[in-house]
């Protein structure tokens, strides 16, 4: 099971927002396929939005946890 709570704080005039990623064992495939699709976009030099950036960040965190880092 993957549970990540990320809060994004930007410029002082922008309201911070929190995104909660809660994937059960059956939803992990959706999470990893989404992150793979976003990585392909980055490799092609395409821009990604804030939600896609959060998914990539969460993917990095999950991989680091699984690697024991």
Report if residue 19 sits inside a domain: no
Average pLDDT over residues 44-67: 89
Domain enclosing residue 46, as ranges: 25-69
Report if residue 29 sits inside a domain: yes
Residue 24, pLDDT > 80, answer no
Instruction: Give the global pTM.
Output: 0.71
Report if residue 11 sits inside a domain: no
Report if residue 1 sits inside a domain: no
For residue 40, the tally of other CB atoms under 10 A from its CB is 10
Measure the CA dihedral 26/35/10/14, to 10°: -70
CA atoms within 13 A on the CB side of 9: 1
pLDDT score, position 56? 93
Report if residue 2 sits inside a domain: no
Residue 41, pLDDT > 90, answer yes
What total of structural domains would you count in the chain? 1
Q: pLDDT exceeding 90 applies to what percent of the chain?
A: 32
pLDDT score, position 25? 67
Report if residue 52 sits inside a domain: yes
């Amino acid at each position: 099971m993957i549970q990540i709570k990320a809060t994004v704080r930007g410029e002082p005039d922008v309201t911070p927002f929190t995104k909660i990623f809660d994937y059960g064992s059956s939803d992990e495939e959706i999470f990893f396929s989404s992150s793979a699709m976003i990585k392909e976009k980055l490799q092609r030099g395409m821009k990604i939005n804030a939600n896609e950036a959060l998914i990539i960040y969460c993917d990095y965190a999950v991989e680091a946890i699984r690697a024991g880092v």
